[in-house]
A = this chain, B = another copy of it.
Amino acid sequence: MERKNEADPAGTPNVAYTMGSGDEDEVLAGFRRSIDNIDAALVHMLAERFRITQSVGRYKAQSDLPPADPAREKEQIARLRKLAEASNLDPEFGEKFIRFIIDEVIRHHQNARDN
């Protein structure tokens, strides 16, 4: 991310604005900077989501509630598909995504119950 031109009077081409290393070009590099920003946001939102589900896991373990809740999952999937449609995300992918997250959460809840 260092801007070489500012530090280098010999004028080494600025990789951020011209060609990247290997097969990356300027247009692709621009797209990738946006993707990297979004991925950082996604990771932090996921981290917060798992902070909450960890509390849910402890609470379920204390209260002898089962790790999985099929009725809640059905609601979540239906809601996610609607949100996906509204934001032009493929609803099939929206469903796959929430199932991917829920499976991880159930695994955590089972661990919380077993340990």
A 88-104 contacts with B by CB, 8 A: 88-90, 93-94, 96-98, 100-101, 104
Choose one: B24, B47, B69; the contact of A72 (CB below 8 Å).
Answer: B24
* A36 and B79 contact, CB distance less than 8 A: yes
CB pair B59–A48 under 8 Å, yes or no, is: no
Q: Do residues A39 and B83 form an inter-chain contact, with CB atoms below 8 A?
A: yes
Interface presence of A6 (CB below 8 A): no
Nearest CB of B to A21, in Å: 8
A42 to B50, CA, bound (A): 13
Contacts from A to B (Cβ < 8 Å): 22-25, 27-28, 31-32, 34-36, 38-53, 55-56, 59-60, 63, 65, 69, 71-72, 76, 79-80, 83-84, 87-90, 93-94, 96-98, 100-101, 104
